[in-house]
Structure 1
Amino acid sequence: MSNKTAHTLNDLIAIARDGKEFYEEAAQKVDDTELRTLFARMATTKAQIVNELSSAVQAAGGKPEDSGTFVGSMQHMYGKIRAALGDKEYGYVAELEESEDRLLEAFDHVSRDADTPPAARDIVVRLMPEVRACHDVMRSRKLSMKNAR
């Protein structure tokens, strides 16, 4: 694997780490037991994605990203404010769905980018079904909560 592969995967690690941390926080803040369980499960899934991507970066001789992104921090903060000012559960679900959009878009971009090294693309394509499934769960939850309002 090349430095470009490590760099590409580290970008995805940072975005997935944003989601993991946001889910962990949300799981502690919501009152709904079902949502708390869902958020904890999603955090675990994000941790697994981070671990797999990190292993690939290490195998390439690189150093895995150990923090999130500025955009993720801002989204996390906005989610906390939104939850504090309105329907807490819906606020977290809506912002977490946005986080899922961001991760899915990043994975889609890497998988389709002609400049993505084959080793990075292989890992991304292998993890894509899991990323898409998480996105779809949160999108469905957001829509059902929005329609119930």
Structure 2
Amino acid sequence: MQMSNKTASTLNDLISIARDGKDFYEEAAQKVGDAELRTLFARIATNKAQIVNELSAAVQAAGGTPETSGTMVGSMQQMYGKLRAALGDTEYGYVAELEESEDRLLEAFDEASRDSDTPPAARDVVVRLLPEVRSCHDVMRARKLAMKNAH
């Protein structure tokens, strides 16, 4: 039982961070004027929802209760994103903040996949989802750099 609690707790941390991202992308998709960005944000929000669902299923399989809320850092990041968007370049502001949220998620996934304390059941799910997480991260990083260079 101890093992499954560790699995649930590891995965629940990732659920919180992925949920932050999902909520933030959904909000950003409603706020930006650029149609292509809106589509991109909506697509990544859906992707984050799938990650949350898969992690939640793994938590349940381990006998745990899936996390249903985000993190404090995520809430603060959203507030900051709103503020930054209100003050100026909405599109770049959101992309920069979202890219930061991607950094956080990727870092958390990388850590869980490398940590020797991560139970095998948790590691399997993390390793399976990692390419997806990395791909979203890379898309947002490329977008941020492209926008930065266009300014």
TM-score, length-normalised on structure 1?
0.99
The answer to whether the aligner puts 1:100 opposite 2:105 as a matched pair is: no
Match of 1:82 in 2: 84
Match of 2:57 in 1: 55
Match of 1:73 in 2: 75
Whichever residue aligns with residue 103 of structure 1, its letter is L
Match of 1:22 in 2: 24
SS of aligned partner of 2:69: coil
Alignment partner of 1:33 out of 32, 35, 38: 35
SS of aligned partner of 1:62: coil
Extract unaligned runs of 5+ from structure 1.
none
Match of 2:9 in 1: 7
Q: Give the CA RMSD over aligned residues.
A: 0.6
TM-score, length-normalised on structure 2?
0.98
Q: Name the CA distance, whole Å, in 2 between partners of 1:75 and 1:147.
A: 24
- Percent identity among equivalent residues? 85
Matches within 5 A, 1:107-118: 107-118=109-120
Q: Name the CA distance, whole Å, in 1 between partners of 2:136 and 2:95.
A: 12
Extract unaligned runs of 5+ from structure 2.
none
Q: Name the CA distance, whole Å, in 2 between partners of 1:119 and 1:61.
A: 12
Whichever residue aligns with residue 127 of structure 2, its letter is V
Number of equivalent positions: 149
Structure 1 runs, 4 residues or longer, greater than 6 Å off: none
SS of aligned partner of 1:61: coil
